[in-house]
């Protein structure tokens, strides 16, 4: 794969392509063997709805949403007619992701909530490209890397990543748990390697839970210190990835202690 920007790669194809991504670096960080296992283990494809992906498609790729998703009609499943109508509808739309009538209403309300936020609205009113794939060779290791920003707002030199979150009060915890600070550094470095431009990076969080009758929205920019840590962490992971790619040794064993809750009340021997 040659370095560059690709706009014609669908999401499933992108995730199966060569090159290390941020999710791959997460696996390297947690257990290097899991990275090569994920590439080589047999996989059974099961078509199931991912609500977050549906929200992404609705907001970022409306044409994809119309072609891949369908909202079920409001049916009374307590009646035989309602059950029969559901079976007929499911069969007619078996090649699409079916969202319930209530899920469809919720997705539309969440999108309206995003557009009610002045900063988020400015992003969507600007010229942007959604789900472009960036490929580059890391200058230190030579390894092929890739990323796929949700929004490339080239007029603002800004990358935006849309995240759904069940509880807006847990955003900071998610930034740590899911290593979003690593994503920030990896994406901005990668896009600069491809375009030569310095891009800003922000997260657009939208809650999937109501708060006072609304779906909260928050735009987050990470601090310089968080970005610095993210760069240090991904560099360490990328160096290990490169070393294992060259050696072909992917073995690793995860060491675990007893859980804290099992030992906190035991007497000290």
- CATH numeric code, 118-239: 3.90.320.10
Q: Where are the domains of the chain?
A: 46-116, 118-239
pLDDT, tens digit, for every residue of 151-208? 999 999 999 999 999 999 999 999 999 999 999 999 999 999 999 999 999 999 999 9
User: Hunting for tokens 């600069």 — which residue is that?
Assistant: 192
- Going by pLDDT thresholds of 50, 70 and 90, the confidence category of residue 267 is low
**Contact at 8 Å (CB) between 80 and 107?**
no
How far from 192 is each of 5, 26, 185, 187, 241, CA to CA, in Å? Answer: 12, 21, 11, 8, 21
**Contact at 8 Å (CB) between 233 and 189?**
no
- Going by pLDDT thresholds of 50, 70 and 90, the confidence category of residue 269 is low
% of the chain exceeding 90 in pLDDT: 84
Q: What is the pLDDT of residue 75?
A: 85
């Amino acid at each position: 794969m040659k370095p560059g920007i690709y706009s014609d790669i669908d999401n499933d194809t992108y995730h199966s392509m060569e090159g290390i991504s941020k999710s791959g670096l997460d696996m390297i960080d947690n257990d290097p063997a899991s990275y090569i296992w994920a590439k080589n283990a047999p996989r059974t494809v099961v078509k199931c709805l991912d609500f977050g992906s549906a929200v992404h498609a609705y907001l970022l790729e409306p044409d994809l949403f119309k072609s891949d998703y369908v909202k079920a009609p409001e049916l009374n499943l307590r009646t035989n007619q309602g059950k029969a109508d559901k079976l007929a509808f499911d069969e007619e739309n078996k090649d699409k992701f079916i969202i319930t009538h209530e899920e469809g209403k919720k997705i539309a309300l969440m999108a309206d909530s995003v557009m009610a936020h002045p900063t988020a609205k400015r992003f969507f009113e600007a010229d942007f490209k959604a789900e472009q794939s960036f490929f580059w060779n890391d200058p230190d290791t030579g390894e092929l890397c890739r990323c796929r920003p949700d929004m490339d707002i080239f007029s603002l030199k800004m990358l935006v990543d849309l995240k759904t979150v069940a509880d807006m009060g847990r955003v900071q915890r998610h930034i740590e748990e899911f290593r979003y600070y690593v994503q920030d550094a990896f994406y901005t470095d990668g896009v600069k390697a491809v375009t030569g431009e310095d891009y800003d990076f922000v997260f657009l969080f939208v809650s999937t839970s109501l708060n006072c009758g609304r779906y909260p929205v928050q735009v987050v920019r990470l601090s310089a210190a968080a970005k610095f840590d993210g760069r240090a962490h991904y560099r360490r992971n990328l160096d290990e990835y490169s070393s294992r790619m060259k050696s072909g040794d992917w073995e690793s064993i995860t060491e675990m202690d007893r859980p804290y809750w099992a030992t906190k009340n035991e007497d000290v021997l």
